[in-house]
Structure 1
Amino acid sequence: MAMKAQALRTPRAAGLVGIAFAVLIGAAIVLVRASIPSGEGALTGSPLSLSSRGGVQTALALIPFAGIFFLWFIGAVRAHVGPGEDKFLSTVFLGSGLVFVATLFGAAAAAGSLLATTEIASPGTPRAELSYFGQHFTYSLLTTYSMRMAAVFVLSASTVGMRLGSFPRWLVLLGYLVGVTLLFVVPNVPLAELVFPLWALVVSLHIVVASFRSRPTGLPGA
């Protein structure tokens, strides 16, 4: 029975880590959006202010931990879904999650490089052009590639949860709505990518609540 109790506690703890991921990645996204200009603002090639540089540095400090917590979150979702998951969908689910982490780290590396290129940049100089390239590259990784991998992750997780009855209907519908938003809306609407940490937060809370509901009240035959 000790092994069974441990199996119940593990998803609960991993669900709490999923909440930590949602908070950290949400904060990092807001900091990057607030600190690094996009669109026409990036064309000026102006160096980042001290406050903006501080915001990027804080986001860079949060992202590695967010990525680590996200790996725990993947495990929490798989443990909650349980045995019998579709091998095709589970492979897509796991693969998209890993690619999301890789592209997220790539965006963080691009933002870190941007700090170096904008330190002494001035409009019209080659360094300013390099700064614009860094800003565009950072947002491309974050909003185009990373968030679309997150969309595949959300859609596959929601489909597996629906087929196995592990997710309630409202959570499945929320997942599909978030997935479509990440696929088609995020590149054009600033901060729309926050729907992903919001979904992760809701799923993590669902896993934590479900783990308490399945908590054994006593030993058989006691």
Structure 2
Amino acid sequence: MERKHERLATPWAAGVAGVVFAVLMAAAIVLMRIALPGGNGGADVTVDAGQRSAVRTALELLPFAGIAFLWFMGALREQAGEGEDRFFSTVFLGSGLVFVATLFGAAAAAGTVIEESQQHPPFGRQFAYVLLTTYAMRMAAVFIITTSTIGRRHGSLPRPLIAVGYLAGLVLLVVGSNVPWSELVFPAWALLVSLNILRDRRPARSQPATSP
């Protein structure tokens, strides 16, 4: 019974981490969009105090979002069970890890915005914008599509959520940075999947001991 409890509680806790990731990632994207509305904005554009404050807050949230995402990945992989496909598992892990690395790279580049002025062209601003809206979101699209495929093959995700996942992945893959705020599609999808995990994998209640 104790071993079964651990098996159920671990994905449940990771489902909570998925919700945390979705909230933190959405907040960071909003703050980054406020500070970096169009990427470069021209070399003569200064970064005001409000933009710097938004970047600082986003930089504080992103590391925790990345950590929560790793727990979220563990929950999704556990959903597939022991019969997971090696090919899709490799793409799943690869896209997820590259997403986290790209996300941290965008955060590091965004940190240079705090020091930018008229004497320093906004290279970091453009670099962070491209990393977040183009490369990170493309990896997020691959992650969503792969996760939806694994969920369909193993029956670990409901059909409506699988359809939403394919649609969300195609939006991020095709649209990318062409549509402002489209990055919020990823945390919205992660929130739906996490809520599904929490619904299906509640912690097991301890049963009273029975006398022989």
TM-score by length of 1: 0.89
Query: What root-mean-square deviation, in Å, do the aligned CA atoms of Structure 1 and Structure 2 show?
Result: 1.8
Q: In 2, distance between residues paired with 1:72 and 1:134? A: 30
The separation in 1 between residues aligned to 2:165 and 2:15, in whole angstroms, is 17
Gaps of at least 5 residues in structure 1 are: none
Counterpart selection for 1:163 from 153, 156, 168 = 153
Structure 2 counterpart of 1:37? 37
- 1:145-191 deviations in whole A, cap 9, x for unaligned? 00000000000000000000111110110000010011111210111
3-state SS of 2:44 partner: coil
Residue 18 of structure 2 corresponds to 18
Residue type at the aligned position of 2:186: F
Matches within 5 A, 1:140-179: 140-179=130-169
Q: 2:182 matched to 1:183?
A: no
Structure 2 gaps of 5+ residues are none
Q: What count of residue pairs does the alignment treat as equivalent? A: 210
Rounded Cα–Cα distance in structure 2 between residues aligned with 1:58 and 1:87: 38
How far residue 44 of structure 1 moved from its aligned partner, in angstroms, is: 5.2
The aligned residue for residue 87 of structure 1 is: 86
CA distance in 1, matches of 2:196, 2:130: 32
Which of 118, 129, 143 is residue 139 of structure 1 equivalent to? Answer: 129
2:107 aligned partner, one-letter code: A
Query: Deviation per CA, 1:113-133, whole angstroms, max 9, x where unpaired?
Result: 1211x2xx22xx5x2xx21x2
Match of 1:76 in 2: 75
Runs (4 or more) in structure 1 with deviation over 4 Å come to 214-219
Give, in angstroms, the shift of residue 81 of structure 1.
Answer: 2.0
1:55 maps to what in 2? 54
